[in-house]
A and B are shown apart, each in its own frame.
Chain A
Amino acid sequence: MEPTAVVDLSYFSLQERQIQEALGRVKARDVDYADIYFESCTAESVSMEEGIVKRAVKSISQGAGVRAIAGEKTGFAYSDELSPRDLAIAAETARYIANSPQGETPIAVTHRQPLPHNLYPLKRPLTEIATAERVNLLHLIDQEARRYDPRIRNVMASFSTEHKVILVVNSEGLLIGDVQPLSRLQVTCIAEDKGNRQSGTYGGGGRVEFAFYFEEDRARRYAREAARQAILNLEAVDAPAGVMPVVLGSGWPGILLHEAIGHGLEADFNRRKTSAFSELIGQQVASEVCTIVDDGTIPFRRGSLNIDDEGTPTSSTVLIEKGILRAYMTDRLNARLLGIPLTGNGRREDFRSVVLPRMTNTFMLAGESEPEDILRSVKKGLYAVSFGGGQVDITSGKFVFSASEAYLIEDGRVTAPIKGATLIGNGPEILRKVSMVGHDLRLDEGIGTCGKDGQSVPVGVGLPTIRVDEITVGGTVAS
């Protein structure tokens, strides 16, 4: 493995003196903390449908976000120009929040930090993948999906890459940079049979090499999975409505954790005491079989980062240990105001966005049950193995997530596939109803994107097979 190139000021054609002056300007008397985040990003995407690759798109963006924090106040400005003049204007705006005279003393950048870990060293930068190679990958997908079943009528696939370079400097003298590769391959198939049309979607990715998609037959497996789901849905029956036991399969159903408790444990809502989990540290919020972790340090994962967007090393944080709430996920502002540790969860979509506490890879540790026993334990219920999106109301704690592949369980056996249905529950209660946890922990394939305050960031989730004793299933048939 080659070491990742060190990102320094020169990457952004900046001189140390300019940075010192800009930091000095924003770090006014009453500013507790100031930082500047530089970012350069090249995003490329190709997409295919009707058997041909029709679209190729590339976007290049570059800019800097300047921030001043004074107490609970944040001043923020950004610019897509990196000239000393533009940085000075941004610094003036950011420090306006502090209502104090401008700082004059340049701030020396004294802590040039090496990366705490090197989680995604790529031999070949994603920017070097030729359009033709991307096109060939999509053709492979198309062929495989169509081969799966003649009822597959359309295949829509896209492959996207992002090469992001960031550099953070702050008023404590820190200077640290990172190169963050990210890619994703996604497939949607439309199946049609006697006027009945259904779709299936699958995909994967991460901070991985292009070769990743060809290893272990991944690309073709994604295609077959999307096709299989679309064909399966042709036979799906209407979903039941009402409260019932639900078994969640391993992997992507971990979105339950993300919605039900993850957002509620982000430090900003807890500082403001607007989360249903506010002031519950040390208390039982889940059954004893539940231990839940947010871990930004898993190599090559979509939700992983060497450092967060404030330059803090990412870490593995136990959020819930055997049912007891242990920690919130923090950024600098909220960690300082709450007097709790930095966890490396300060993230932003890009230089145009402010830092918020966000999840990385959030999952439940494996338990001891056999997945088959978990299914057998249910007399009448639902077995959900794949989901679309989810959403939560942090304050009331109510969350939803929508099953895209699910089956009825009748007398312990998995029977008919059902149409998509939304599941709704209450965050602080739902994990108390988890009575069995399988030994089969799996992380998702790497396609998750989380939205908060209009900002999207890549995340991961994971789950072993679990049994939830009761949750409301939003189908159309009275059960």
Chain B
Amino acid sequence: MTMPSVNGEQPALVSVRNLSVAFTGGARPVHAVNGVDFDLAPGEVLGVIGESGSGKSVTLRALLRILPPRRTRIGGSLRIAGKDVLALQGRALEDYRGGVASMIFQEPMLAFDPVFSIGDQIAESVMRHRRVGKAQAKQRALEMLELVQIPNAKRRLDAYPHEMSGGMRQRAMIALALACAPKLLLADEPTTALDATVQIQILLLLRELQRELGMAVIFITHDVGVACEVADRVAVMYAGRLVESGSVAAVMQDPKHPYTSGLLSSIVHGQTRDQRIEAIPGAPPDLADLPAGCSFAPRCRFAVDACRAEVPAARELAGARLVRCVLADEAEWD
């Protein structure tokens, strides 16, 4: 895949500028996403890595406009495939969801309607977006089930979600999401609930489908290993901000943000038992009460006064890498 998208030759498929999302339902507004910028080229796979509460799922839901409108305040701009996503209303929004961008979730059991068969649900989406008849839509549903390598696809068309195993349901959900050939697939931890031997099958399937169909993918995960398997580029989120992004190889080998570095060293991977794991002390901040400067400063070993004064700007380093850390170009903290 082509790597840099910021200054790439192709026009960006996705362009997110200063995206912010706050939930206003509770006593105090919760600032889940606080100024996220990124671009994504057509056919590019971006892995978004973050822990719970980092804002990664909320960002994804904002991209598909599926956050509850009454209780959510969205700021910034979102352009996807030439559309101003935040301005979409009514039929245009319906056409966008599933037609331009679609999403797969962690729990396919919740994403499917339990009282309709898998085939009917895929066909319904095809009929809505392609304006074709039932027979043609069913044919497309069958093709999709075969594409995601469900054995006995013909028989599975009439299966209900509860009749399938976890891995098969996840394949069926991928078939549903890709049935109308979206340009952008949003994947929200689609393999987290699966067993290890099934997870790797789904990851490889997604990689294969992406290569074949050429859609762009934003893949959200808390598991760095999963991101390494699927992503061209990764973005690391913390407290609603992108703190670092770059090619997956560069970020893995040489993390520039202290949070990324701490996250990588806190992952148990081949350490021996007499070595302590280097954990990051403390816990992520309260999103209703964010610190003034860098959100990671209270947990950061290298924090200086400048970190607490204001939110560090994103700095661009060589190799199309972005880092939001005042020490990013000094490299003295490691």
Q: Do A and B bind each other?
A: no
